Structure 1
């Protein structure tokens, strides 16, 4: 299941990033990933949080990058994650947009957005906010990938607070606007054009920016809604975490209850 398992193999690890989708999570990132990987656009593989969360080694690299304050050293770490991918959409890509623009100077920058800041706020609060809370951390603590996932959120928050020191909260419409303006400003510093895109725009602006032909078969733009799946993922993660705690408790109880007797018998 997406976000829980990932068997994708990236054959090449050479730098080949051609598209940087810099919009925040819950800004049609999965739909955009599907479009980028389709036969219409052909930018496969596309990095997405779904290809990070199931892998402790990748999560550790992202954590190391979030903690690294030296840009050159941070980008060395990020090359280990993003090289070999032709595109990126969703976290952790968007939080490193400035680094990615330096690492891949020829990549097209797309700023994928929701129809409004309010719509984004409602969506993010219903889906991803949970993963940075103790309600997630404590039940899932025994699973390394889940522990690391939690800390990715925490250190991500710290990095964003440093980037926007006057920010009153990350789950605010203010943050949504600040991030989008930051992407535009970082692109402007580097003389890069930003393709502003909303899901209602469909294929046309992206195809034009990437010099691709829109689909002639009239197919609609992919529309993946991760909200329902994320709700299921939450239940599975919490469920397996609680089962792990129960198993650990049972093992400790059995050892405490029967262990001394077994030791006396065999000694």
Structure 2
């Protein structure tokens, strides 16, 4: 299962370049987008997702170092080390480093995956992840480095969201947070003269494949992958550890 296993090991001996930046927040169809990008129709495998971070202590350490690094060149070096070997991104950690990644990968296509139903639906869905930053989670999971990393990353993400999106603490994980993130993506892309495709799974293959200059399948539904049950199982296991 995605949040228990660490079975993606891309070849990092050869320099690669990200082709697609999935810029949407977690719980915005990030796994459906990942599955589509990795499909035979688009062929961008592997695609980085938080499911490749959570069970991997080394990658978690790199993410934490990048969160804490204030100097741009050193932060970019850390991120290169994290993303090398991957062809696309979706979910965190990419979503909070989009300004860096736009500079690092100037030719990558930017896809802003959005939550069906907008900010109000996102607020309800993101509650599923807040356990990872809770005192209960921290007390139950302090023996495992991967879980300590998850809790530390939660703190770092919230701090970056406040600074990058100009949010007050009480505005985190609200509709304002959702709207501010999407506006930030558009603003950062506009600074660099980059196009952004806003995308929801219900849009189907056509707009995504057209944007990526791929042929859209006509006889296959767009993937719908919901990690909610797996996240709940992950949290339940940590609570029972």
Alignment TM-score, normalising by the size of structure 1: 0.87
How far, CA to CA, are the matches of 1:87 and 1:200 in structure 2?
A: 21
Structure 2 match to 1:200? 202
Q: CA deviation at 1:76?
A: 0.7
Which ranges in structure 1 are unaligned for 5 or more consecutive residues?
A: 241-267
Greater relative contact order (Cα < 8 A, sep 6+): 2
Larger displacement relative to structure 2 (129-138 or 18-27): 129-138
Tell me which structure has the larger Cα radius of gyration. Answer: 1
Which of 191, 194, 201 lines up with 2:193 in the alignment? Answer: 191
Task: Pick which of 40-49 and 164-173 moved more.
Answer: 164-173
Indicate conservation of the 8 Å contact 2:18/2:87, yes or no: yes
The aligned runs of 1:159-178 (5 Å cut-off) are 159-167=160-168, 168-178=170-180
Runs of 4+ in structure 1 off by over 2 angstroms are 164-169
Correspondence 1:97 to 2:98: yes
Task: Give 1:141-180 correspondences, 5 Å limit.
Answer: 141-167=142-168, 168-180=170-182
TM-score of the pair, normalised by structure 2: 0.96
What do residues 83-114 of structure 1 show as CA deviations (whole Å, max 9, x unaligned)?
11100000001000011111111000000001
Long gaps (5+) in structure 2: none
Correspondence for 1:124 among 123, 126, 138: 126
In 2, Cα distance between the equivalents of 1:215 and 1:129?
37
1-structure distance, mates of 2:64, 2:40: 33
Q: Secondary structure at the match of 1:20?
A: strand
SS at match of 1:111: strand
Let me know the Cα RMSD of the aligned residues: 1.0
1:11 aligned residue = 11
Partner of residue 247, structure 1: none
- The alpha carbon displacement at 1:15 in A equals 3.0
